[in-house]
Amino acid sequence: QVQLVESGGGSVQAGGSLRLSCAASGYTASTPYMAWFRQPPGKEREGVSVIKWNGSTRYADSVKGRFTIARDNAKNTLYLQMNSLKPEDTAMYYCAAALSSFLSLVPSDYNYWGQGTQVTVSS
């Protein structure tokens, strides 16, 4: 089993920045792929970015150039640096992990999920 705990959410004005963190514990060797998803109010969960253990990444078009995903394998921690935030980035942000997602941004491809951290961007 793998446990994921997100932190770093909050409220920020448009144009601001936030850095999310996700601490992983348990059998983390089974989770070479780690990702961020988000779920805006009243909408479906959507993929934001994914990173493989070797540093390969993929981003949703909506966040390219603004968000950066990173991981510290020694600390079993995943990060999401979010810059130039927009009101449409407002959502609950979730950390997820999988054995073999192959850089997928589809929620059903992930086995483990955190509880989420809220990000609110005001205009």
Tens digits of pLDDT across the chain (123 residues): 899 999 999 999 999 999 999 999 987 777 899 999 999 999 999 999 999 999 999 999 999 999 999 999 999 999 999 999 999 999 999 999 998 889 999 999 999 999 999 999 999
Tokens of 73: 């394998």
Express the helix, strand and coil content of the chain in percent, nearest 5 each. 5, 50, 40
Cα distance between residue 98 and residue 118, in whole Å: 22
Take residue 98 and report the two structure tokens written for it: 């999988």
The 3-state DSSP class for residue 115 equals coil
CB-based contact 80:68 (threshold 8 Å): yes
**Could you give the angle at the alpha carbon of 99 between the alpha carbons of 61 and 4, nearest 5°?**
80
